């Protein structure tokens, strides 16, 4: 069954919006972090869709780059989150506003 | 064969470097050795150069030019060489500077023996010799200006030598500032010279003048007048003489070297050096002559009533410099330089002898508290007597010949000259009077030291003592020079200088010249005798005549005592408006309203803006992310609705970006 490209785009937009609202609303740092990952993957989906639409391989390749960067970012970000938790005993973003440990 | 002219300034400079950099750590004996050895070596080089280059020896043609480092300044049409030149005039100046300078260095070893900053004093003194020799050796105006400024610096440093004393520090500043006024004139003169001749070299300008023998007045007058302003500043002439009396705050040997024998004669030297320009401008010459005669008379009248021994000598120096200007102004440059030389001898002697008196009395400078020192300081007395006779113009002392030469030339110089001659003659009377007044007050009568002892601090109250031999030796040499220095005679001296400054009028070659010369000489000596006689009446014995005269003419006495209120007039007319203008107009309106106000305005705007903007930087992660999301949303919306207007060719129609249609919402 052929699924129109536009559906993928709509799904991508929905995922991105979910990510944005999660990013804004949630207080737990790990949830915020997961929201960022969600946004990245939403964008990945739109990249792939456009690549398919235009029959251009560049979009596909770019997705790999984004995934690599996201992996690295996840490693660093989680390390920071652990460090913050050890120092503060909390992951509430509203209490992490001093820009330092 | 080489004259090694560069060694003459460099040797004292090395002395300055050694004493200036290391002197604090060196023992006193070594400091003195360095301070004396280098000027002596420079004097030796000058003597060698003089013997090699003496006209008639045929080894060198004068002026002999030594050029260093190729071209010094090479900027567009401006070419200035770093070159020294030696001619007869420079030779005379060099002999005076290094010779008298060395004697004063020797004297200073004794005079400054107990002073703090001994090494500093000698470093400055050597620095002065460096700049002064550069000044007279320079082959162009710019290099001369370097020396000119340098001696001003050395003078400033030495006047303010006792810098923890406010009056000394102020006097140094005053000397520097007043000299700067003159320097502006010198600088303007140089610019005009550059525009007129395209060169600053003495030789090239001389050649250009010789080519255009018809060029007179006009631009040359302007140049000459600018240079006169410079000369007036350095040589303490009206209206810029006010710094010299205050300069007496420095140590006495400094007054002898810088403010009597050498530096203050730089203006006279400069006029003699640039006489080619002055000769073409009778107006400028007349200005010089009038300034000279007026200063000579004016300063002499102030000198009549001063009670500080050094101040009397300071006004006397201004007065004698006026004579030299008078000589230059009547185009008798060799007579002016002759007087410069004899004045260097006898005025250095007078200052050093006064220093010896001050030293012997433990720092007392007020003549009214001296007296009766003839027996206590015999050598000082006899040497000073030679100086007094020389400056008063008694035959056969040095001052007689040179003063006579200037007065004779002035008398020969038309109607204006005759008028100025009489001013000069009256000045000679005044000079003789105040010098003998000093002589009587200091050395004769009974000691008025009792008054001093009861008033002043106990440590100055030891009995007067003669100075050590190291101070007396230079006194004796200078006394011999003051006595015999004029025997060269103006004819021989003038002939020696004539290649540089033009021929001297020879009285023997003119009709009645010899008789006139002798008549004028007799008149001059009679005037000097009259001055002595008057001084004897007033001060020769204990009497009240001087006090009575002062009491009977209170107006004149007060006018003279307060130096014609010139310092006060300058203070109120020039300094005070400047200070008030700076404080209120520039300070309140310029600095306060404009500069500070605009700074406050800018700072206020920034502060207010910052007060508002800083609320964005809450540090709260979710507020940042909200702004981020809102910003992104605004950008997207703006792109959608305004895109084509903001970015040409951007059409957000999805149908064109993507070949698809959105699914219809069912």
pLDDT tens track for B270-299:
999 998 899 888 899 999 999 999 999 999
Instruction: Kindly report the backbone phi and psi dihedral angles of residue B67, in degrees, each rounded to the nearest multiple of 5, phi listed first.
Output: -110, 140
Q: Do A94 and B622 touch (CB under 8 A)?
A: yes
Residue B473 near residue B383, CB atoms below 8 Å: no
- Mean pLDDT in residue range B604-614: 92
**Chain Cα centroid distance, residue B252:** 16
Q: What's this model's pTM, rounded to 2 decimal places?
A: 0.78
Is residue B664 over pLDDT 90? no
**Average pLDDT of span B300-326:** 92
What residue of B is the nearest CA neighbor of A26?
Answer: B622
Q: Render B187-224 in DSSP notation, one character per residue.
A: HHHHHHHHHHHS--BHHHHHHHHHH-TT--STHHHHHH
pLDDT (0 to 100) of residue B288: 93
Task: Kindly determine whether residue A5 and residue B658, on different chains, have CB atoms separated by under 8 Å.
Answer: yes
Contact state of A4 with B620 under an 8 Å Cβ cutoff: no
Alpha-carbon distances of B199 from B73, B82, B254, rounded to whole Å: 12, 13, 35
Tell me what pLDDT residue B108 has: 93
Cβ A40 vs Cβ A92: under 8 Å: no
Say if the Cβ atoms of A53 and B625 lie within 8 Å.
no
Under an 8 Å CB criterion, which residues of A touch B? 4-7, 9-10, 20, 23-24, 27, 32, 50, 53, 93-94, 96-99
B620 or B506, which is more confident:
B620
Tell me if residue B602 falls in helix, strand or coil: helix
Among A49-58, B461-470, B565-574, which is the least confidently predicted range?
B461-470
Read out DSSP for B84-108? Answer: EEE-HHHHHHHHHHHHHHHHHHHHH
The distance of A89 to chain B (nearest Cα, Å) reads 17
Top pLDDT among B545 and B527 is at B527
pLDDT at B644: 65
**Residues of A with Cβ-Cβ distance to B660 under 8 angstroms:** 4-6, 53
* B358 phi and psi angles, rounded to 5 deg: -60, -45
pLDDT category, B337, cuts 50, 70, 90? very high
CA B213 – CA B279 distance, rounded (Å): 11
Comparing CA positions, the residue from B294, B304, B301, B313 lying closest to residue B245 is B313
| Predicted local confidence at residue B459, as pLDDT | 46
pLDDT the model gives residue B541: 79
The whole-angstrom separation of Cα B93 and Cα B166 is 34
Q: Is the pLDDT of residue B656 over 60?
A: no
Kindly report the number of other CB atoms within 10 A of residue B593's CB atom: 11
Point out the least confidently predicted range of B362-371, B439-448, B637-646: B637-646
CB B275 within 8 A of CB B331: yes
Per-residue confidence (pLDDT) for residue B460, from 0 to 100: 47
pLDDT at A76 over 50: yes
User: Dihedrals φ, ψ of A28, to 5°?
Assistant: -80, 130
> Averaged over B385-404, what is the pLDDT?
91
Q: Determine the pLDDT at residue B494.
A: 86
Q: Chain-wide mean pLDDT for chain B?
A: 87
CB nearest A7 (choices: B626, B659, B663): B663
Question: Among A97, A98, A100, A101, which would you mutate to test the B interface (most chain B Cβ atoms within 10 Å of its Cβ)?
Answer: A97
Would you place residue B167 in the very low, low, confident or very high pLDDT band (cuts 50, 70, 90)?
Answer: very high
The shortest CB-CB distance from A53 to any of B618, B619, B658 is to B658
As a whole number, mean pLDDT of residues B68-73 equals: 79
Q: Is the pLDDT of residue A62 over 50?
A: yes
Higher pLDDT, B666 or B411: B411
Rounded-to-integer distance, Cα B568 and Cα B513, Å: 46
Instruction: Give me the percent of chain B exceeding a pLDDT of 70.
Output: 92
Per-residue pLDDT at B367 exceeds 50: yes
Partners of B661 on chain A (C-beta within 8 Å) are 6
Residue B579 in this model has a pLDDT that exceeds 70: yes
Helix, strand, coil abundance in chain B, percent, nearest 5:
75, 5, 20
Q: Is residue B61 very low, low, confident or very high in pLDDT (cuts 50, 70, 90)?
A: confident
Least confident of B6-15, B56-65, B81-90, B228-237: B56-65
Binned at pLDDT 50, 70 and 90, residue B456 comes out as: very low
Partner-chain residue, chosen from B620, B629, B662, that has the shortest CB–CB distance to A6: B662
How many CB pairs below 8 A link A and B?
Answer: 39
Task: Give the pLDDT band (50/70/90) at residue B462.
Answer: low
Whether A19 shows a pLDDT value over 90: the answer reads: yes
| Banded pLDDT at B583 (limits 50, 70, 90) | confident
Predicted pLDDT of residue B560:
84
Q: How far apart are CA A51 and CA B206, in angstroms?
A: 90
Q: Which residues contact B344 (CB under 8 A, 6 or more apart)?
A: B96, B100, B260, B261, B262, B265
How large is the average pLDDT for residues B574-580?
Answer: 89
**Average pLDDT value for residue range B409-432:** 90
Inter-chain CB proximity A4 and B663 less than 8 Å: yes
pLDDT at B296: 94
Q: Do A5 and B629 touch (CB under 8 A)?
A: no
Query: Which 3 state secondary structure label does DSSP give B662?
Result: coil
Does residue B457 have a pLDDT over 50?
no
- Chain B partners of A23 at a C-beta cutoff of 8 Å? 625, 629
Nearest to B620 among A4, A32, A97 (CB): A97
Chain B residues whose CB is inside 8 A of the A92 CB are none
Q: Do B36 and B106 meet the contact criterion of CB atoms below 8 Å apart?
A: yes
pLDDT at B495: 84
Mutate to test the interface with A, among B620, B621, B664 (most CBs of A within 10 A): B621
Q: What is the band of B213 on the pLDDT scale with cuts at 50, 70, 90?
A: confident
Residue B124 pLDDT: 94
CB-CB: which of A10, A53, A99 is closest to B659? A53
Q: Which residue of B has its CA nearest to A7?
A: B663
- Residue entry with tokens 């000369």: B231
A50 CA: distance to closest CA in chain B (Å):
8
Six token digits for residue B92? 């005379």
In chain A, what percentage of residues exceed pLDDT 90?
A: 61
- The predicted pLDDT at position B666 comes to 46
Contact call for residues B291 and B238 (beta carbons, < 8 A): yes
Residue B199 in this model has a pLDDT that exceeds 70 = yes
Q: Of the ranges A14-28, A67-81, B99-113, B494-508, which one carries the lowest mean pLDDT score?
A: B494-508
Min Cα distance A73 → chain B (Å) is 18
Q: Distance, in angstroms, between A93 CA and closest chain B CA?
A: 6
Which pLDDT does position B387 carry in this prediction?
A: 93
Which of the four pLDDT bands, split at 50, 70 and 90, describes residue B506?
Answer: low
The residue of chain A nearest to residue B661, with distances taken between CA atoms, is A6
What is the phi/psi pair of residue B44, to 5°?
Answer: -60, -45
């Amino acid at each position: 069954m052929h699924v129109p490209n536009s559906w993928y785009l709509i799904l991508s937009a929905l995922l991105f919006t979910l990510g944005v609202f999660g990013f804004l609303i949630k207080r737990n740092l790990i949830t915020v972090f997961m929201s960022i990952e969600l946004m990245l993957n939403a964008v990945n989906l739109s990249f792939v869709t456009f690549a398919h639409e235009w029959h251009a391989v560049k979009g596909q390749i770019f997705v790999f780059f984004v995934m690599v960067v996201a992996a690295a970012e996840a490693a660093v970000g989680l390390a920071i989150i652990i460090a913050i938790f050890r120092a503060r005993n909390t992951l509430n973003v509203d209490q992490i506003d001093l820009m330092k440990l | 064969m080489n004259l090694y002219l560069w060694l003459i300034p460099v040797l004292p400079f090395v002395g300055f470097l050694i004493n200036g950099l290391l002197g604090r750590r060196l023992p006193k004996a070594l400091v003195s050795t360095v301070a004396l050895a280098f000027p002596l070596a420079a004097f030796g080089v000058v003597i060698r150069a003089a013997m090699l280059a003496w006209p008639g020896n045929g080894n060198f043609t004068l002026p002999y030019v030594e050029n260093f480092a190729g071209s010094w300044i090479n900027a567009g049409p401006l070419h200035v060489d770093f070159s020294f030149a030696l001619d007869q005039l420079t030779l005379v100046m060099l002999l005076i500077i290094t010779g008298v300078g060395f004697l004063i260095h020797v004297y200073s070893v004794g005079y400054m023996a107990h002073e703090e900053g001994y090494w500093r004093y000698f470093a400055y003194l050597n620095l002065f010799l460096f700049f002064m020799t550069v000044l007279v050796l320079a082959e162009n105006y710019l290099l001369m200006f370097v020396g000119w400024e340098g001696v001003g610096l050395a003078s400033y440093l030495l006047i303010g030598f006792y810098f923890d004393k406010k009056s000394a520090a102020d006097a140094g500043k005053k000397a520097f500032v007043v000299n700067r006024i003159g320097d502006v004139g010198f600088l303007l003169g140089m610019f005009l010279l550059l525009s007129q001749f395209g060169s600053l070299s003495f030789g090239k300008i001389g050649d250009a003048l010789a080519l255009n023998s018809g060029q007179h007045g006009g631009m040359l007058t302007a140049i000459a007048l600018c240079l006169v302003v410079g000369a007036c500043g350095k040589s303490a002439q009206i209206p810029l003489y006010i710094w010299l009396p205050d300069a007496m705050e420095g140590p006495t040997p400094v007054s002898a070297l810088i403010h009597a024998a050498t530096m203050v004669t730089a203006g006279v030297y400069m006029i003699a050096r640039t006489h080619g320009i002055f000769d073409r401008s009778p107006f400028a010459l007349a200005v010089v002559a009038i300034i000279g005669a007026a200063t000579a008379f004016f300063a002499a009248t102030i000198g009549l009533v001063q009670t500080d021994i050094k101040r009397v000598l300071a006004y006397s120096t201004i007065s004698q410099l006026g004579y030299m200007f008078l000589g230059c102004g009547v185009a008798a440059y060799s007579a002016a330089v002759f007087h410069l030389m004899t004045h260097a001898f006898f005025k250095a002697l007078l200052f050093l002898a006064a220093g010896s008196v001050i030293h012997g009395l433990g720092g007392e400078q007020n003549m009214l508290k001296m007296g009766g020192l003839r027996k206590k300081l015999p050598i000082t007395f006899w040497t000073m007597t030679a100086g007094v006779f020389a400056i008063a113009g008694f035959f056969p002392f040095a001052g007689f010949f040179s003063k006579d030469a200037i007065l004779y030339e002035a008398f020969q110089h038309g109607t204006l000259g005759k008028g100025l001659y009489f001013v000069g003659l009256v000045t000679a009377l005044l000079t003789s009077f105040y010098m003998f007044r000093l002589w009587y007050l200091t050395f004769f009568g009974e000691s008025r030291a009792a008054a001093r002892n009861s008033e002043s601090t106990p440590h100055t109250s030891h009995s007067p003592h003669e100075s050590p031999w190291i101070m007396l030796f230079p006194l004796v040499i200078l006394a011999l020079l003051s006595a015999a220095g004029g025997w060269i005679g103006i004819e021989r001296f003038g002939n020696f200088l004539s290649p540089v400054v033009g021929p001297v009028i020879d009285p023997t070659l003119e009709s009645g010249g010899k008789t006139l010369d002798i008549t004028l000489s007799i008149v001059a000596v009679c005037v000097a005798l009259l001055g002595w006689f008057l001084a004897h009446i007033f001060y020769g014995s204990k009497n009240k005549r001087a006090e009575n005269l002062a009491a009977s003419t209170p107006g004149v006495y007060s006018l003279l005592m307060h130096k014609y209120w010139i310092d006060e007039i300058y203070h109120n007319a020039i300094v005070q408006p400047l200070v008030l203008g700076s404080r209120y107009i520039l300070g309140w309106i310029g600095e306060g309203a404009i500069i500070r106000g605009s700074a406050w305005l800018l700072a206020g705007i920034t502060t207010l803006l910052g007060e508002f903007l800083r609320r964005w930087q809450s540090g709260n992660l979710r507020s940042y992310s909200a702004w981020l999301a809102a910003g992104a949303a605004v950008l997207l919306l703006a792109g959608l609705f305004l895109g084509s207007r903001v970015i040409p060719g951007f059409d957000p129609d999805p149908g064109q970006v993507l070949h698809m249609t959105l699914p219809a919402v069912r």
